[in-house]
Amino acid sequence: MNSHICISEKVLLRFAETGSGNLYYLDTKHRCIKNKKAKYFLSEEGYYTPDVEKFLSDKLETQMGRIFKSIDVFIKGQQTIFETERNLSAFAKDAILIQSIRSPNYCRKYILPRLPHLPQGRIGARFMANKMLDEKNFGEWRRNIFNLHHATLLINETSHDFLLPSLQLYTVKYRSRETLILILSPQYALIFINEEDYQRNYAAKNGGYSYPYIENIEVVHEMNIACIKFDDTWGAGKIVGKREDLSKVGKELSFIDY
């Protein structure tokens, strides 16, 4: 069975064309835009052990599905409080660590050099993923090396979609602070905010929450530029989005020649 090596299946489907299941992506290494069925995008047969497949299903895909359901209900105005708000930070920390470990390029370039006693290269990246993305080992790994600020929902209200990097995450400057963003769909992401800023601007007040919104197309454009640059350096260099958006930003960054 084919496994998506480094990206959530539920997130990929949010970027796929309705009906066809196709998606477009910018390949920064081959300097062109390609298309592929979402179910085959960055997938490989037998990459993960059955135990890791189950861990990813339970820890990432099932939780991602619950968050999407909550977002959909919240956006439709059927409730004033995003019901999974209290769990977002814990989920986002887990998801970002999972994405970092399961991405062969990121693991090979960033994580493995810090662990010279382990196998290196792509073989080492697969070894690392199957070792650490296991229920028995993940908790200790997360507890020892991972700590971030509060995560909350970031809503894109513009007509300009977020792009989806192969890592599903990237660093970006948001309101003058460098932070991490985890893409969920063309309109939604999870973003880490300094705890003090979060409590002052977004925490529960009068029985409800408020969330950061983006209303300026240029802000999304700058984020998409950061997305492509980050993924070209640390990821697979395959960024999903609308063909016209990929073409525009790709040419601007000189990642495509035509």
Domain chopping of the chain, boundaries? 2-252
Average pLDDT over residues 114-119: 89
| Each residue's pLDDT tens digit, 147-165 | 557 888 899 999 999 999 9
CA dihedral 88, 233, 224, 72 (to 10 degrees): -30
Would you place residue 37 in the very low, low, confident or very high pLDDT band (cuts 50, 70, 90)? Answer: very high
Residue 91 half-sphere exposure toward CB, CA atoms < 13 A: 23
Query: pTM for the complete prediction?
Result: 0.89
Q: Which helix (H) or strand (E) holds 155?
A: strand 150-156
- Given a cut of 90, whether residue 257 has pLDDT beyond it is no
SS3 172: strand
Q: Among all chains, which residue has been given the structure tokens 């998409």?
A: 224
- Report the alpha-carbon distance of residue 66 to residue 85 in Å, rounded: 12
